[in-house]
């Protein structure tokens, strides 16, 4: 079986949904940000602080490229992983790309108390979220399927993904 790759903005539930989805499907689970943290022994915030975003993007691309031999795995990516076309190409090679989406206000409510997202430590995080989503929308739209997560619980999102995958296999999508 192909991998299932979750892409989408910060705070759309990629991690929690990814873990639950993997359990339901009997798949392995891999989180790209956690792989980077394991490889470096640093948190994502520390990497941004000490090495900068561009070096973080290199590490992200390396961690994604290292997934190329995997199958039967749910892979959660960081919200900016879509920015490099080589990442999308690699993930698509043996995976179905599913984008989780949510309104900026919903995302803001979910992440406003989190200190672990360096790009949102700004004066006006809601505005930052709006701007980044606007910039990234064309990349997120390249997914095989988009799930709107506003108002849905993680288990409802998992149900929706599983139903859509079944639909894809039967050629209904």
Give the binding site for ligand S3P (CB under 6 A).
10, 14, 33, 44, 78-80, 117-119
Burial class (CB in 10 A: 0-12, 13-18, 19+), 49: exposed
Q: Which is nearer to ligand S3P, 62 or 166 (CB)?
A: 62
Q: Which is nearer to ligand S3P, 45 or 71 (CB)?
A: 45
Q: Which is nearer to ligand S3P, 14 or 87 (CB)?
A: 14
- Least CB distance to ligand S3P at residue 96 (A): 19
- Least CB distance to ligand S3P at residue 161 (A): 17
**Distance (Å, whole) CA 165 – CA 98:** 10
- Least CB distance to ligand S3P at residue 107 (A): 10
Chain-centre distance for alpha carbon 54: 18
Q: Which is nearer to ligand S3P, 5 or 10 (CB)?
A: 10
Q: Which is nearer to ligand S3P, 72 or 121 (CB)?
A: 121
- Least CB distance to ligand S3P at residue 167 (A): 26
Cβ atoms 146, 96 nearer than 8 A: no
- For residue 96, the SS3 value is strand
> CA-based Rg of the chain, rounded to a whole angstrom?
15
Residue indicated by tokens 């989406």: 101
Residue 149 phi/psi, 5° resolution? -100, -5
- Least CB distance to ligand S3P at residue 98 (A): 14
> Which residue's Cβ has the minimum distance to ligand S3P?
78
- 115 — alpha (psi -120 to 50), left (phi > 0) or beta? alpha
């Amino acid at each position: 079986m192909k991998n299932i790759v979750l892409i989408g903005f910060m705070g759309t539930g990629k991690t929690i949904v990814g873990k639950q989805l993997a359990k339901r499907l009997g798949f392995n689970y891999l989180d790209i940000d956690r792989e980077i943290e394991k490889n470096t022994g640093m948190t994502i915030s520390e990497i941004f602080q000490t090495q900068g975003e561009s070096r973080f993007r290199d590490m992200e691309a390396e961690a994604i490229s290292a997934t190329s031999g995997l199958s039967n795995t749910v892979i959660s990516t960081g919200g900016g992983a879509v920015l490099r076309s080589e990442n999308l190409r690699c993930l698509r090679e043996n995976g179905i790309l599913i984008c989780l989406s949510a309104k900026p206000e919903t995302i803001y409510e979910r992440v406003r108390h989190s200190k672990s997202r360096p790009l949102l430590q700004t004066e006006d995080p809601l505005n930052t979220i709006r701007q980044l989503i606007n910039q990234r929308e064309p990349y997120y739209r390249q997914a095989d399927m988009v799930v709107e997560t506003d108002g849905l619980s993680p288990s409802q999102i998992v149900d929706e993904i599983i139903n859509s995958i079944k639909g894809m296999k039967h050629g209904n999508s």
